[in-house]
Amino acid sequence: MSAQKDRWVFSFFFLLFCASSIRMQGSARLLQELSPQEYFSSLQAGRASLAYFSHNVSPGAQPFLEQIENSAEALQDYGISVVKVNCPKEDVSRYCGEENALRKAYLFRGNMLIREFPTDALFDVDSIVANVLFALLFNEVKYVETLADLQNIENALKGRSNMVFAYVPATGTAEHRAVMEAAFVYGTVHQFVLTTEATLLKDTGNDESDVSSARLLFCHCQQATDLAQPCRRTAMGQTLTMLNIHRHLKLMGAPLVTEVAEDPEKVSTVHLQLGLPLVFILSQKETYEADRRTAEFVAWQLLGKAGVALLSRDLVDLNILLRSNVALKTPDEGEPVKYLVLEDTDEVITLVEDKNKVEQIQEDEEEIEEDEDEKENNNQDVQDDQVVEAVSRDKKRELPLEQILVLTEETFHSALLETARTVVLFYASWEAVSLAVLRSYTEVADHLKGTRGILLSRVNCWDWPGVCTKENVTQFPTMKIYEKGGRSVMYSGMWGTEELTSFIMLNRVSCPLRLATIDEAEGYLRGEFPPELSSYHHTSLLGVFSTATSEAREAFEEAGNLLSGHVMMGMYFEDDALALSRKYAVSPPALLLARSRGQSVEGIALSKESVQDMVQMIRYELLDVFPEITVQNLPRYLQLRKPFLIFFSDGDLGQMESKEMLKLAKERPQQAFVACWLNLKKTICLPVMHKKREPLELPHLHICLCSPFLRKKELSFDRAQRKKTPVGRGVLKAYFATMPSLPVLIWVNLHAGGHVFKFPSELSITEMNILSWLEKLKAGLEIPSSTLSEEDWKPPLPAYDFLQMMEMAVPETPLRTSHRHRDVPQQYPPESSGGDTGVQEESPQDSKAEKVGSPGRDLRGTAPRLAAREKQGKRHSEL
Amino acid sequence: CSSLLVATGTWVPNVVNFPGSEYVEGYETVSINPEDFAGQTVLILGRGNSAFETAENILGVTNFIHMVSRSRVRLSWATHYVGDLRAINNGLLDTYQLKSLDGLLEGDLEDLAIVKDKKGKLHITLRFYLENRNTSAGIDSITLPQDELDNFATRAPYDRVIRCLGWKFDFSIYNRSLGLMTGKGNKKKYPQIKPSYESKGTRGLFVIGTASHSVDFRKSAGGFIHGFRYTTRAVHRLLENRHHGVPWPSTVYPITQLTNSIIKRVNEASGLYQMFGILADIILLREFEYLEEYPVGVLAELEGQTGRKAPNGLFVVIMEYGRNFSGADKDVFYYNRAVGEAQHAWQSNFLHPVIYYYKRLPTEHEMRLRPPDWPLPRPDAVHHIVEDFLTDWTAPNAHILPLRRFLENCLSTDLRNFFAESCFLFAFTRQKLPPFCRQGYMRMQGLVGSERLRHHAVEAGLLEDYTLTDFLGDGPPDSHEGSQDHLLRDNAIPVHPLQHLVTAKDE
């Protein structure tokens, strides 16, 4: 035992020895060790060297010596050698003799001493490099302390050379080093000026910057002509690193405006190479001078953020719209150049800056994600499902469920027999969507409180899976209305309070409702009959049949069954049906469509149609001709699969616009598009427009009609209801970088191509203007202001890769089974052979299995990962 | 006939032949009336549930009970196998370990011999002594171990010896030509069958019930009523497909229901739970088709056996214990035996759902080469739902969220739920919609949500509140962003989720 231990200890020391000797050899190449004679005789004229004299290694100098060793490599890049001079004991010469001298390092150029540094100024590699270069570049980098000094230098440079002005809070920092390294490269091109005085920074107009961070300004003095004015300055936005300074100086060195005469797709400039966008100002011969001035103006604004090029359209044959005046090329490979029509230079600037902003946010985000990746697995465990999160945030609140009867497996069937209609919401207490619906359902219960003949109830399928399976509930939530007689209907509409309530109420009367007298029929068309439903529907449908036409009537009744709860349908087939049909100039079988309480009634002849066709027809007829699009009704119009012409309005429609738009919408009976409008603001009253058929042209009316539902329970309804569709703002923000001024007319083809066009704001909204604009769109003469993303919906975040984790854990295999693992393909988890039952199945002889777990693999684990693995090891060690 | 279902159980008692075995009573005939054992000293051969059950029954009235068996006792709470000693039967362990009354001994029964003395008492000796003795001499000439070793353990004479050595399948009525072979190793008491419960030798001959336990011997519950009621149903479904062209029952759901249907099943399905590792739910893609409780050993033959097609890959939902957790001598009570965090779910020890994802159906070759103790070959991805103390896997963040991410990444889609307002925004700003909006909102079944929920979603940074701009008048969009930032800062919630939702911006 002890012998073994000794051997182990020995080999450990042996390893250590090897390691340290290798390291000595490695650094010996950079850090020379010479005697004083050797050193002084080796000094060459013009070559700089940093020397440190020592008798022997005194303990205090040890850290310093380490740093100086480390900096040897960095200094070598600048042609500076680092030498440790070993003084013989008896030596009492200048450098070796004095006790004091040994606490210093000396910088020589040739054999001339340039500077001596106290060792405490050389505390790390950054400070060594910074201070040594600072001493050597004495002429290239001017150090200033007062504003006057700075101004003198600046004035002297005007018309001759540019100036790089850097502020660092202290010398010897990493920023200082970066500036010095940049000066080493660019010192002959630009004049470098350095300060540690924060006041100088304030006076250069950078008042918002805080003095704790270093700053760098590029002063354009070469072009400066006016001696009285300070040079134009461009601040560097990023932190001071060698790379960033290099990038900034390169950008400053690039021409302000590049003139190009080729296809923008092929153009490449410094900006694009450095990952910045390039803005093209499209110019013509006639406007060249003005365009050039614009380009320069924009270029100054965007200096350091984007490049600007002036493109003469006369020289390049571009297949773009004549109106386009700006193009944007991003550095991303493969992204096409975007052509835009912009109105002023500010838009150009916001275009670029917003882009930068977005990118910056994305970058930051990536960084954060990376950081978190190191620590944990980013935010996979943060809920990003809005419904689940919203429901779980609402979990602690007790729902007002007292109006809703809880049904169980035992009480379910008996409860159905008690009331004429029992509404049952099947939900699962763990399922977020059904819990969200349960919340709307409580609101429904509140609205319907006291309504006779309706019982609202619920079944939690988590507690009672049996009854849910029996009632054929395959997904959550499901709502069904059971009639006492045994018939039931399943709800298939929007899960909103309003829709649910109206469905339940409309279901109380049979669909279609048979009307007995002509008075009832008239009352029905006016929306007054049956009275209890008068507030739950806008549109009444009445089928008029002479008794003979039973076939159409049956189809109509079937359709009524299918549309039950969604549409108000009545039918009349008494003897005097003809009188009714004559009044509305139709011949039975016919449909009468009464919108907004009988203010307009149109007649539609019923041909022999299948039930499905009739349902389709009824659905289609119920659509408005110029609807206000809301969150709730959009899907109905999307099903037409036509392009949308949308009028985004901040508030109600103007008289003029609505008239023109309506004219436009009605013009074509078979419109090729859906003309609609969207109210971005809260609405109390909304004008309801009606689709009209030719024969029954009642005078068109704008009726100000509150949503019937609101009239009843206006105040108890939530805010979202009274706000119409503020989310439309999100739509506009997605279409345009900035929110356009309202109202705005948009053409968007959602189903083909996804191009978005904006009606020119300078044109007034008239039928003629819109039509001719649409013609231009069709002819491809307009350029889309944006195109909807075609991107697929990908997983928002990665999943835990358990397969990989299992593989990672292979080395963790308990020792006692490891021998068996030799022939087990390593990609399988270690536990696989842990069983001691001795039931060895066919041993996996597939040598073809990829050797994922090659011996070197586990060494790649990072420190935290190893630590984590140790933790796991503890948790799962065998006993 | 075309099919034969063998459900004859394992009724042939295991018998050991040794000198004196004629004095041994069998479990199948021994009295179950404790009074018959009053004051007696009893030796029980065997160490299974029946041996302990017998002991338990007479424990209170006997002088003492000894049990002899070849192998040591295996406790079912350590092995997670109900065929091993259940705690309800193990009262004798207490009287042995705590009161030193009764006892357990290990030894090979083949080496034993029993001799009866004149008083009718039964003495244990070794076969070795019997073979060497003078055959002509009487009972007194037989060497008893205590003659040489005076503290021999079973030196006390017994009144009765009871054999509780288990049962085996009756192979006697099957002709050789049927090829109904005995199982290998410790499964030799069962006929050899395929994981589809069909005999290896004869097509159409199925073994069901407890005799079918060779499929999952010492692994799952197929040898017991609470397990084989599910495997028998599986055989029924296989036969329905084979002989009547009735495919395996399945339900087709839209992809948006995938997460929910898995959560529902792993929480409610009894077949998965009892027949862990053996029966699995199979989910066939694209919209998806859900098949319940399929014998996973014949996964490769799925298409032929069920009449369902799996052209676009599949998920297999199965329940598993941690691979290294169960075992005869394992400490199943060690500290930190349970994993709490979803990200370490793969190290779960207690029974928990595991979901395997295959881009295509594994082949028979792959099934054969699967790692030992794995029910299935290496999948393209695997997900463990972290073990739960309540066996209730419905926690939104610990159970459902990681499962959703797994499914999303396998299917390369976004399975989040959205309020109607978000779908509205997507409908106008993207050419494609997430499945939830496609299946719900676009079919006029959108989730409108109450104002309070909307407010919560806005607070969480998962929904943008466009009504805010109204209060600010027609302020520039910047001011709106400002308010959003403010909202986010207040709640100290990272901005990322929102970013994911609003990447719709094309410009």
In chain A, residues 428-467 whose CB comes closer than 8 Å to chain B: 428, 430-433, 436-437, 439-440, 443, 462, 465
- B361/chain A closest Cα distance in angstroms: 18
Asked if pLDDT for residue A209 goes beyond 60, the answer is: no
- Of the ranges A301-310, A369-378, A504-513, B393-402, which one carries the lowest mean pLDDT score? A369-378
Which residue of chain B is at minimal alpha-carbon distance from A833? Answer: B372
Q: pLDDT tens, A386-409?
A: 999 999 999 888 888 888 999 999
A632 vs B: CB within 8 A: yes
Could you tell me if residue B26 is inside a domain? yes
A831 vs B: CB within 8 A: yes
Asked if pLDDT for residue A193 goes beyond 60, the answer is: yes
Residues of B in contact with A719 (CB under 8 A): 451, 467
Q: pLDDT tens, A685-715?
A: 333 333 333 333 333 333 333 333 333 333 3
Could you tell me if residue B152 is inside a domain? yes
Could you tell me if residue B467 is inside a domain? no
Asked if pLDDT for residue A823 goes beyond 50, the answer is: no
Asked if pLDDT for residue B299 goes beyond 90, the answer is: yes
What's the distance, Cα to Cα, between the start and end of chain A in Å? 24
| Overall average pLDDT of the A491-506 stretch | 90
Mean pLDDT of chain A: 74
Strands A755-758 and A786-787 come out as antiparallel
Asked if pLDDT for residue B264 goes beyond 60, the answer is: yes
pLDDT at residue number B314: 94
Q: Identify the three-state secondary structure at position B320.
A: strand
At A872, is the pLDDT very low, low, confident or very high (cuts 50, 70, 90)?
A: very low
State whether B220 and B284 are in the same domain: no
| Residue that the structure tokens 């945030």 belong to | A393
Q: Identify the three-state secondary structure at position A118.
A: strand
State whether B157 and B287 are in the same domain: no
pTM of the full predicted structure? 0.66
pLDDT at residue number B259: 94
| Overall average pLDDT of the A799-821 stretch | 61
pLDDT at residue number B505: 32
Query: How many residue pairs from chains A and B have C-beta atoms closer than 8 A?
Result: 361
Q: pLDDT tens, A244-298?
A: 888 888 888 888 888 888 888 788 888 888 888 888 888 887 788 888 888 888 8
Spatial separation of the C-alpha atoms in residues A734 and A127, rounded to whole Å? 49
State whether B295 and B373 are in the same domain: yes
Closest CA to A309 of A349, A260, A263: A260
Q: pLDDT tens, A413-472?
A: 998 888 889 999 999 999 999 999 999 999 999 988 888 889 999 999 999 999 999 998
State whether B280 and B176 are in the same domain: no
In chain A, residues 671-730 whose CB comes closer than 8 Å to chain B: 680-682, 718-720, 723, 725-730
Asked if pLDDT for residue A854 goes beyond 70, the answer is: no
pLDDT at residue number A203: 61
The DSSP line for A644-660 is EEEEEESSSPPHHHHHH
Asked if pLDDT for residue B381 goes beyond 80, the answer is: yes
| Overall average pLDDT of the B106-134 stretch | 82
pLDDT at residue number A721: 40
pLDDT at residue number B343: 85
The CA dihedral of B15, B18, B21, B24, to the nearest 10 degrees, is: -60
Q: pLDDT tens, B223-249?
A: 999 999 999 999 999 999 999 999 999
State whether B177 and B158 are in the same domain: no
Spatial separation of the C-alpha atoms in residues A529 and A543, rounded to whole Å? 15
In chain A, residues 368-397 whose CB comes closer than 8 Å to chain B: 368-369, 376-377, 379-394, 397
Spatial separation of the C-alpha atoms in residues B384 and B397, rounded to whole Å? 14
State whether B367 and B267 are in the same domain: yes
Q: Identify the three-state secondary structure at position A69.
A: helix
Residues of B in contact with A805 (CB under 8 A): 346
Residues above pLDDT 70, as percent of chain A = 75
B449 vs A: CB within 8 A: yes
Asked if pLDDT for residue A646 goes beyond 80, the answer is: yes
B327 vs A: CB within 8 A: yes
Q: Cβ contact (<8 Å) for A730 and B368?
A: no
Q: Tell me the ipTM for this assembly.
A: 0.85
Q: pLDDT tens, A663-688?
A: 888 776 566 888 888 888 743 333 33
Q: pLDDT tens, B57-105?
A: 998 899 989 998 888 888 998 898 988 999 888 888 888 888 777 888 8
B448 vs A: CB within 8 A: yes
State whether B204 and B59 are in the same domain: no
State whether B158 and B173 are in the same domain: no
Could you tell me if residue B482 is inside a domain? no
Spatial separation of the C-alpha atoms in residues B308 and B295, rounded to whole Å? 15
Q: Which of B137, B163, B189 is the last residue of a domain?
A: B163
Could you tell me if residue B443 is inside a domain? yes
State whether B142 and B177 are in the same domain: no
- A735/chain B closest Cα distance in angstroms: 7
Asked if pLDDT for residue A657 goes beyond 70, the answer is: yes
Closest CA to B222 of B231, A223, B314, A548: B231
Q: Looking at the partner chain, which of B327, B445, B451 has a beta carbon nearest the beta carbon of A835?
A: B327
Q: Which of B411, B433, B467 is the last residue of a domain?
A: B411
Closest CA to A259 of A235, A241, A283: A283
| Residue that the structure tokens 């039930």 belong to | A611
Asked if pLDDT for residue A868 goes beyond 70, the answer is: no
The better pLDDT of the pair A567, B314 is held by B314
pLDDT at residue number A834: 37
Could you tell me if residue B214 is inside a domain? yes
What residue type is A402 in one-letter code?
E
Q: In which domain, by residue range, is B320 found?
A: 249-411
Asked if pLDDT for residue A20 goes beyond 60, the answer is: no
B20's torsion region: left (phi>0), alpha (psi -120 to 50) or beta? Answer: left
The better pLDDT of the pair A780, B284 is held by B284
Asked if pLDDT for residue A591 goes beyond 60, the answer is: yes
Residues above pLDDT 90, as percent of chain A = 8
Q: pLDDT tens, A84-135?
A: 887 777 666 677 766 665 677 888 888 788 888 887 777 888 888 888 888 8
Burial class (CB in 10 A: 0-12, 13-18, 19+), A304: middle
Spatial separation of the C-alpha atoms in residues A350 and A740, rounded to whole Å? 14
Could you tell me if residue B212 is inside a domain? yes
Could you tell me if residue B470 is inside a domain? no
Q: For residue A530, say if its preceding peptide bond is cis, omega within 30 degrees of 0.
A: yes
State whether B282 and B406 are in the same domain: yes
Partnered with residue A543 across adjacent β-strands are A571, A591
Residues above pLDDT 90, as percent of chain B = 49
Asked if pLDDT for residue A878 goes beyond 90, the answer is: no
Number of structural domains (chain B) is 4
pLDDT at residue number B105: 82
Interface test with A, best of B429, B481, B498 (most A CBs within 10 A): B429
State whether B339 and B208 are in the same domain: no
- Of the ranges A513-527, A598-612, B267-281, which one carries the lowest mean pLDDT score? A598-612
Which residue of chain A is at minimal alpha-carbon distance from B457? Answer: A390
State whether B349 and B258 are in the same domain: yes
Q: Which of B122, B142, B163 is the last residue of a domain?
A: B163
